[in-house]
């Protein structure tokens, strides 16, 4: 048989290197994108109810790996994917009752801030000492996210995932900005150490300056956290008070609990009267202060005689002042109000919630939202109005600062109560609309960070759980289950000293934002000079 020259060794239908090159191009695009999403997911896993706070460090190390040396445009895209990987699962509770639309829209919008941080980190990653500039940029992104749009949404600040972590004492030093900055810096420092080590193994040369930057990026936050521990104390400075946190529960989960407003009020009155019976029988300590949750009386007790009688009866039974969460109409305004109820005098003081929740307590862009889905506008028929003054009730001689639910996420709203004389803080909340989601655990972690930040006992009365009493060192001394009626009674320390974080207020955040701006400015100048030389 004859074999012709053309029967063997014919050319392939495509050049030998074409398929591998296409495959490599696909990998170059896909792998970093997938890694950005997965590292964002890793950051989410570091948040409560899990106690895996340390996972934030490798999450930011991978984030640094993805961004270092890239263009700002690549950083923008990878930062956005990192933000989606983090925020989509973190905020899933926002769609529990209203569907996936608002949840996805919120995460998509909030991830834009992370995208801008990613672009900035990529830009400064070529500078000496880049982990410092990059970590400051993350803090600047959180600062922006806490203020815009619609007065901001600080949920998911890195500090709020560190209630069980070794960095927590830094909250007392400089608040949530310093705590979050330290965690991010440590993660970026870990990456820099790993990068320098691998490069030294490959080349046999150690870049000492880069190694020092990485080592300091890890060591300084850890050493600072240890040095800040003396700022954390649960010692009583102004004596003690016995507080009772009442969780009455709700008739059913979800948004429909609002149709059972009288039942919710009756449940909280009944639990308070049950506690009073236990006190009279010697089975519980008599409280000096009784704290009810937000929305424990959605019936206005100032205009409804039945509601007033129910609260009066409960307050007289327990024989102590009660802080009642009520929805109140006043001068044509709708207010989310805490009412100080004296067992003998009735209502004697009020606090109106100042940081109200967009799309929950008021509806921005109402006509536009109605055009998209008119069912959403029906959920917020009338907008709540904002209060203007910090709330500190004097209850049995104790200054009790009021921080209503969503306000606990905002640095200024908590600090104002302490500078206005709060010796302990109460965070009355209503989480019934979010079912058994992670929301209540995330919010409880915020209160733990606030306890350390301002060195105050923090009580968390919630309609349906988890209610808790938190010591000034951030430990949870008592807590309830979810969707059960219960009450917590405990003698807690009262404190009046101010931590550095309380005294400094917004200054640490401003300083870090200026550092971030300085890094971006330096990177811009360096980039212009580089193009000029070419």
Task: Cite the active site residues.
Answer: 294, 353, 405
Nearest by Cα to 461 from 418, 425, 420: 425
DSSP secondary-structure letter at 429?
A: B
Q: Show Cβ contacts of residue 180 under 8 Å, excluding neighbours closer than 6 positions.
A: 138, 139, 142, 157, 158, 159, 162
Give the C-alpha separation, 171 to 263, whole Å.
40
Alpha helices in 355-469 (DSSP H): 366-372, 374-379, 411-419, 439-454
Neighbours of 211 (CB within 10 A): 17
SS3 content of the chain, % helix, strand, coil (to 5): 55, 15, 30
Residue appearing with tokens 């996972």: 55
Q: CA torsion 110→116→119→123, rounded to 10°?
A: -140
Across 285-404, the runs of DSSP E, i.e. the strands, are 289-291, 322-330, 333-342, 346-352, 391-395, 398-402
Taking the C-alpha atoms of residue 445 and residue 439, their distance in angstroms, rounded to an integer, is 10
Residue 94 C-beta-side C-alpha neighbours within 13 Å: 20
What is the rounded distance in angstroms from the CA atom of residue 122 to the CA atom of residue 248? 51
What DSSP element (H or E) covers 457?
strand 457-460
Give, for 73, the enclosing helix (H) or strand (E).
Answer: helix 72-90
Give the residue among 403, 434, 375, 445 at the shortest CA–CA distance from 157.
445
For residue 273, give the DSSP letter.
Answer: H
The position carrying tokens 């889905």 is 373
With a CB cutoff of 8 Å and minimum separation 6, the contacts of 296 are 246, 248, 264, 265, 268, 324, 325, 326, 428, 463
The dihedrals phi and psi of 431, each to the nearest 5 degrees, come to: -105, 10
């Amino acid at each position: 048989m004859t074999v012709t020259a053309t029967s063997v060794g014919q050319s392939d239908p495509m050049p030998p290197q074409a398929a591998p090159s296409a495959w490599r191009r696909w990998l170059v695009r896909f792998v970093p994108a997938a890694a950005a999403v997965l590292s964002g997911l890793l950051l989410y896993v570091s948040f409560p109810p899990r106690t895996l706070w340390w996972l934030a460090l490798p999450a930011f190390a991978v984030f640094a790996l993805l961004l270092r040396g890239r263009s700002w445009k690549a950083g923008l895209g990878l930062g956005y994917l990192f933000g989606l990987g983090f925020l989509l699962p973190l905020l899933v509770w926002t769609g529990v009752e209203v569907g996936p639309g608002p949840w996805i829209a919120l995460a998509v919008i909030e991830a834009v801030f992370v995208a801008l941080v990613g672009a900035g980190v990529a830009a400064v990653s070529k500078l000496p000492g880049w982990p410092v500039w990059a970590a400051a940029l993350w803090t600047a992104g959180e600062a922006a996210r806490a203020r815009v749009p619609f007065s901001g949404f600080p949920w998911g600040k890195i500090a709020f995932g560190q209630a069980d972590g070794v960095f927590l004492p830094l909250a007392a030093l400089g608040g949530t900005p310093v705590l979050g900055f330290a965690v991010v810096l440590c993660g970026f420092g870990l990456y820099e150490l790993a990068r320098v080590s691998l490069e030294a193994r490959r080349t046999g040369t150690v870049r000492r300056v880069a190694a020092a930057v990485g080592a300091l990026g890890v060591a300084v936050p850890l050493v600072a956290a240890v040095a800040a521990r003396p700022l954390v104390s649960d010692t009583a400075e102004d004596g003690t008070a016995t507080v009772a946190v009442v969780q009455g529960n709700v008739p059913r989960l979800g948004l429909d609990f609002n149709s059972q407003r009288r039942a919710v009020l009756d449940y909280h009155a009944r639990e308070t009267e049950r506690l009073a019976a236990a006190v009279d029988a010697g089975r519980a300590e008599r409280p000096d202060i009784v704290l009810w949750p937000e929305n424990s009386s959605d019936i206005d007790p100032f205009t409804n005689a039945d509601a007033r009688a129910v609260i009066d009866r409960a307050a007289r039974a327990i024989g102590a002042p009660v802080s009642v969460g009520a929805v109140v109409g006043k001068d044509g305004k709708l207010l989310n109000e805490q009412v100080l109820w004296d067992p003998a005098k009735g209502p004697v003081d009020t606090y109106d919630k100042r940081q109200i929740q967009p799309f929950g307590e008021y509806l921005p862009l109402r006509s536009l939202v109605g055009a998209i889905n008119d069912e959403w506008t029906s959920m917020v028929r009338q907008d709540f109005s904002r209060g203007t003054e910090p709330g500190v009730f004097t209850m049995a001689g104790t200054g009790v600062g009021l921080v209503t639910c969503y306000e606990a996420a905002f640095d200024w709203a908590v600090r104002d109560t302490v500078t206005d004389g709060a010796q302990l803080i109460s965070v009355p909340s209503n989480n019934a609309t979010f079912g058994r989601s992670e929301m209540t655990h995330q919010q409880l972690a915020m209160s733990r960070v606030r306890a350390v930040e301002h060195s105050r006992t923090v009580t968390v009365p919630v309609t349906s759980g988890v209610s808790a009493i938190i010591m000034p060192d951030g430990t949870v001394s008592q807590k309830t289950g979810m969707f059960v009626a219960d009450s917590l009674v405990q003698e807690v320390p009262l404190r009046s000293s101010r931590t550095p974080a309380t005294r400094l207020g917004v200054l640490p955040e401003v300083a870090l934002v200026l550092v971030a701006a300085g890094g971006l400015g330096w990177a811009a100048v360096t980039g212009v000079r580089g193009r000029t030389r070419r």
